[in-house]
Amino acid sequence: MTSKAVKKNLSIGKALQIIETMAGRSGPMRLQEVANAVSQPPSTTLRFLNTLMDFGYADQDPTNLHYFLTMKFCRIGNLISRQIKMREVIRPFLEVLSRKFEESTCLAISQEDCVVYIDVVDGPDHILQALQRIGKIAPLHSTGVGKCLLLDYTEGQIAKFAGKGLAGLTKNTIKTESELLTELAKVRRQGYGEDNEECEIGVRCVAAPIRDYSGKVVAAISTSGPTHRLNSDKLKLIRAEIPATAQNISKRLGYDA
C-alpha cells in the first residue's frame, strides 16, 4: 500500500470521527470543542468541517459560530434503508429469473444521474461477473435499467441530462437527446427497456421499472447475457417475463396500477 493511500484512509477515518462525535452531541459545537473531542488540532478540524459544509453535510450558526450537522445525513440514511428493504423484497425474484433463464439478473437504482447496481445474481457461468457487481456505476442512457430509471424524467430534465453529454461507449450507444426521447417513448410503450450492446459489446439485457406506492420509478431489474445466448427466441421469453416480474415486485412495494 502506498503512503498516499494510507493518508487517504486516515483522512476518511478522521472525518468519520468528527461526524460521529458531532452526531452524538445534543447541540451545535464550537470548533475548539470538536477539536478537543477528536484529539485533533483546530486547524485540521476546521479543514474537515469546511469540507463537510462545502458538500452540505454541516453548517455554521452565524450568530455564535457553532457547527452542526445537517439533515442531509438523514437523506443518506433513508436511501440506504430503502435499498436494504428493496433488496430483501426483490432478491427472491432475481434468483428465480436467474435460474429460469440461466443468466445474470440485477437490481439497480438511480443516483446523481447514474445507474448504481445494488444487487446482482450471477448466471451459472459467472461470465458477466466483472461487468455487473454491487456498487458498479453505469450511464443511464446506455443501459436497459438506466432507460427505465429515466422514465419519470420530464423533457426539461432529459434536456439537462443530455446537455451534460451522452458518452458513446459503443457504436450502438444513444448519442443525442432526440434519440433518447424516441427510445424512452418506446420503453413506455412496450413496458421494458433494452441494451443492445450499447454499454458493452457482446452483451444484451432486458430491463423493467419498479414503482413504489406513489407510482414513482424507484428501481429497475434486468436480465443480461452474452449476445450469442440472448438470441431472438430467448429474448422473446425474457421480454414477456421481466415486465410481469417487475409488476409483481411493484405490487409488493404498494404500487396499484
What pLDDT does 123 receive?
A: 75
What pLDDT does 4 receive?
A: 46
What pLDDT does 76 receive?
A: 84
What pLDDT does 26 receive?
A: 86
Look at 73-87, 179-193, 211-225 and tell me which has the smallest mean pLDDT.
Answer: 73-87
Look at 7-11, 42-46, 103-107, 248-252 and tell me which has the smallest mean pLDDT.
Answer: 7-11
The string of pLDDT tens digits covering residues 124-159 is 665 555 455 666 888 999 999 999 999 999 999 999
Distance CA 208, CA 88 (A): 18
Distance CA 212, CA 215 (A): 5
Domains of the chain: 3-70 (1.10.10.10), 79-252 (3.30.450.40)
Give me the mean pLDDT over the 95-109 stretch: 94
Q: What are phi and psi of 141, to 5 degrees?
A: -75, -15
* CA nearest neighbour of 143 among 122, 159, 124, 167: 167
CA dist 156 → 106, 162, 163 (Å):
29, 10, 10
* CA nearest neighbour of 66 among 31, 17, 21: 31
Distance CA 100, CA 112 (A): 33
What pLDDT does 49 receive?
A: 96
